[in-house]
């Protein structure tokens, strides 16, 4: 079995003062270590007792102070080691290949590292995508397993973004390059994960300030005790004062805090999510409103055409013909499914092969798409949009649409010029576990809002079945932004998910914006998190993870400060054991002052490695409201943090005494 000693080597290198000065608590501990070594060497000059029992005590203090700093460095190096492992795996993904650059009517082959933003590249079947880009022509399935771990290829169409080093498994596509060398998605991921010196979050900064303040206060207190003892004629041992200082200052949380900051980014990465900053992860823990898309988040997101409903008087075969014509050039998943349903319904599509027209693409503003052939315009889309376009309504269309919507389906209306032709029924399925997730969010006092382009009836059905509290129907791009703004005006922290260019403003305005890796470059640039698995529902996992990270930091801080209280009642009585009036504070009843102080320092040192797994993995917690979490934190880590050290220090003391350690 190969033992990895790299974290140990890194931990020893991090003893450098220029590294430790970033962590004031550990910097003071290292200064105390240096002072202890100096005092041991020159103990005679400072009137320190030099009998064998005291020399053993001084040596033990030096060893324990060294281990305190060492364990802190180990915690940080283990976190950095995980970052390095993730970075190394990302570097292995990156592929250098030959790109087929289209220049007018010719194709020129160039190395992928020479590609620049704006170049048009042809990617053929079974070739690597040479660089990040956006599909401008064609469609196909892409194997993204090297990035996402998902073995099933993903269908991408015009407008979707593709990531360099993934593989096109079908057909051929043209892509427009969207990143220069060194600025690709993989490059950014490697830089984000691999950079151990990360921007500190506001909570981290606040906690660092508090720890620095406590350290300064206890430095002053320790110096005052020395002056007071000298004034009273009490000869205090400087080594004991050093131990008092180290046990007074919050060494436990001070040692683990750097590791916690790095672990937060690593934990998000393990979910196949790239966070652009620690602030994004921290924001996730404070979220109290989530804005969710219906399609892909609440529902499976793969809407398929399942039935045709021509209006009375329109022959079914004629209706299928117009359905096919409206979708023949539509490369969306819905359009492709309509063509397939037409073919499976008996329509002979080969006779339309030579028929050409001007394709009308779908936009989020018009909410329809179609084709113009000579003077005939065939459109398909939302009933409301089609009705507004042709300037009238139809009772049959309204009735069928209402019936489809009441079942949670989507009704797509078809028209020719100003004539209604019928309705295409699209079906999507609510994710079976989504209701449980929504309930979990409610238990954490997080409000859920669903935004959908569907009508009120469909939105109401989906909201009711999934347990969503609020919904907004007939949504346009600007509506999402306004919804984020409305919640922000209520002083709420907002999270949302999106993948389109029209989602970019709302993603940028939200406190946590999660973009899909398959989404447009604009969406990924605007968001502060990117999901490699393209699972919009993962936003709820991000919120849960953010809560866990904040609770872990709070729990360890509470436990650390509570520990200090217990250590005071061990060390202070031991320091002033010559003063009978202070005997009442010796609640442990220890009779050997040096042994009591050593026991406290041993606990102070070894509690750090004991808590490293908790710092890296996070505290397990049940989803609940802030009040309940605070109560649990105080009882378990506050009260428990006071009682636990008394028990451990007592065991250490009596074990040492039992084996004959009597210095």
Q: State the catalytic residues.
A: 293
Paired with 410 in beta bridges are 426
Q: Token pair for residue 550? A: 């904040």
- Looking only at the bridges linking them, the beta strands covering 419-427 and 304-310 are antiparallel
CA–CA separation, 75 vs 145, rounded Å?
Answer: 32
Relative orientation angle of helices 395-406 and 456-466, to the nearest 10 degrees: 10
CA–CA separation, 462 vs 407, rounded Å?
Answer: 9
The distance between the two most distant Cα atoms of the chain, rounded to a whole number of Å, is 111
Paired with 304 in beta bridges are 427
CB 192 within 8 A of CB 276: yes
Per DSSP, 44 falls in state: G
Paired with 427 in beta bridges are 304
Question: Which helix or strand (DSSP H or E) is residue 54 part of?
Answer: helix 52-93
CA–CA separation, 68 vs 78, rounded Å?
Answer: 16
Q: Which of 188, 211, 326, 172 minimizes the C-alpha distance to 269? A: 188
Q: How many Å separate Cα 481 from the centre of its chain?
A: 22
Count of CB atoms situated within 10 Å of the CB of 47: 10
Per DSSP, 308 falls in state: E
CA–CA separation, 447 vs 494, rounded Å?
Answer: 9
Paired with 133 in beta bridges are 162, 177
CA–CA separation, 271 vs 382, rounded Å?
Answer: 36
Place of tokens 């096919």: 324
CA distances from 292 to 385, 497, 548 (A): 23, 6, 21
By residue count, the chain amounts to 663
Cα-Cα-Cα-Cα dihedral sign, residues 457, 463, 464, 469: negative
CA–CA separation, 159 vs 137, rounded Å?
Answer: 9
Q: Which of 551, 580, 585 minimizes the C-alpha distance to 568? A: 585
CA–CA separation, 539 vs 273, rounded Å?
Answer: 10
CB 245 within 8 A of CB 226: no
Q: State phi, psi for 517 to the nearest 5 degrees.
A: -65, -25
Q: What is the 3-state secondary structure (H, E, C) of 428-455?
A: CCECCCHHHHHHHHHHCCCEEEEECCCC
Question: Which helix or strand (DSSP H or E) is residue 261 part of?
Answer: helix 251-270
- Looking only at the bridges linking them, the beta strands covering 447-451 and 470-472 are parallel
Q: How many Å separate Cα 463 from the centre of its chain?
A: 26
Question: Which residues, 6 or more positions from 314, have their beta carbon under 8 angstroms from its beta carbon?
Answer: 421, 422
Q: Which of 264, 261, 243 minimizes the C-alpha distance to 68? A: 243
């Amino acid at each position: 079995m190969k033992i990895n000693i790299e974290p140990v080597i890194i931990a020893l290198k991090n003893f450098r003062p220029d590294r430790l000065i970033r962590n004031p608590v550990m910097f003071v501990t290292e200064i105390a270590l240096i002072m202890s070594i100096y005092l041991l060497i020159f103990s005679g000059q400072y009137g320190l007792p030099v009998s064998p029992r005291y020399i053993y005590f001084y040596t033990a203090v030096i060893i324990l102070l060294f281990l305190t700093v060492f364990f802190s460095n180990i915690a940080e190096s283990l976190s950095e080691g995980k970052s390095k492992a993730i970075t190394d795996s990302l570097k292995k993904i990156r592929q250098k290949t030959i790109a087929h650059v289209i220049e007018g009517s010719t194709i020129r082959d160039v190395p992928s590292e020479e590609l620049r933003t704006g170049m048009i590249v042809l990617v053929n079947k079974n070739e690597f995508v040479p660089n990040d880009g956006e599909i401008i022509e064609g469609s196909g399935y892409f194997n993204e397993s090297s990035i996402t771990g998902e073995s099933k290829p993903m269908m991408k169409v015009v407008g979707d973004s593709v990531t360099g080093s993934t593989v096109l498994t079908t057909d051929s596509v043209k892509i427009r390059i969207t990143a220069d060398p060194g600025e690709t998605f993989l490059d950014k991921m490697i830089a984000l994960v691999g950079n151990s010196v990360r921007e500190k979050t506001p909570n981290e900064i606040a906690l660092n300030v508090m720890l620095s303040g406590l350290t300064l206060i206890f430095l002053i207190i320790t110096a005052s005790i020395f002056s007071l003892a000298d004034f009273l004629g009490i000869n205090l041992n400087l080594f004991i004062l050093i131990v008092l200082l180290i046990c007074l200052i919050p060494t436990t949380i001070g040692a683990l805090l750097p590791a916690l900051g790095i672990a937060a980014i690593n934990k998000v990465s393990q979910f196949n999510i790239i966070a652009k900053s620690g602030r994004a992860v921290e924001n996730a823990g404070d979220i109290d409103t989530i804005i969710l898309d219906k399609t892909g988040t609440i529902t499976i997101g793969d809407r398929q055409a399942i039935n045709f409903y021509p209006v009375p008087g329109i022959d079914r075969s004629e209706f299928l013909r117009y359905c096919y014509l409206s979708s023949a050039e539509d490369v969306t998943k819905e359009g492709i499914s309509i063509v397939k349903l037409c073919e499976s319904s008996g329509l002979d599509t080969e006779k339309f092969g030579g028929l050409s027209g001007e394709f009308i693409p779908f936009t989020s503003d018009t909410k329809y798409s179609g084709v113009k052939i000579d003077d005939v315009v065939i459109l398909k889309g939302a009933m409301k949009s089609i009705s507004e376009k042709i300037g009238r309504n139809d009772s049959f269309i309204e009735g069928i649409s209402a019936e489809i919507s009441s079942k949670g389906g989507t009704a797509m209306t078809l028209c020719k010029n100003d004539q209604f032709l019928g309705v295409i029924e699209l079906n999507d399925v609510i994710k079976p576990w989504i209701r449980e997730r929504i309930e979990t969010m409610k238990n954490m006092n997080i409000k859920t809002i669903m935004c959908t382009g569907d009508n009120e009836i469909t939105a109401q059905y989906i909201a009711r079945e999934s347990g969503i509290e609020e919904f907004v129907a007939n949504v346009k791009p600007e509506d999402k932004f306004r919804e984020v703004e409305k919640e922000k005006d209520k002083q709420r922290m907002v999270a949302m998910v999106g993948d389109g260019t029209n989602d970019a403003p709302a993603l940028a305005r939200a406190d946590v914006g999660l973009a899909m890796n398959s989404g447009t470059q604009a969406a990924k640039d605007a968001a502060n998190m990117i999901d490699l698995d393209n699972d919009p529902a993962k936003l709820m996992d991000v919120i849960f993870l953010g809560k866990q990270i904040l609770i872990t930091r709070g729990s360890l801080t509470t436990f650390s400060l509570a520990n200090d209280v217990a250590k005071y009642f061990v060390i202070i009585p031991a320091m002033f054991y010559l003063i009978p009036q202070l005997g009442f504070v010796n609640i442990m009843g220890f009779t050997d002052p040096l042994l009591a102080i050593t026991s406290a320092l041993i606990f102070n040192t070894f509690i750090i490695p004991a808590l490293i797994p908790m710092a890296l993995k996070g505290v397990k917690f049940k989803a609940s409201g802030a009040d309940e979490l605070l109560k649990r934190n105080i009882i378990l880590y506050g009260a428990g943090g006071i009682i636990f050290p008394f028990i451990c220090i007592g065991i250490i003391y009596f074990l040492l005494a039992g084996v004959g350690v009597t210095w």
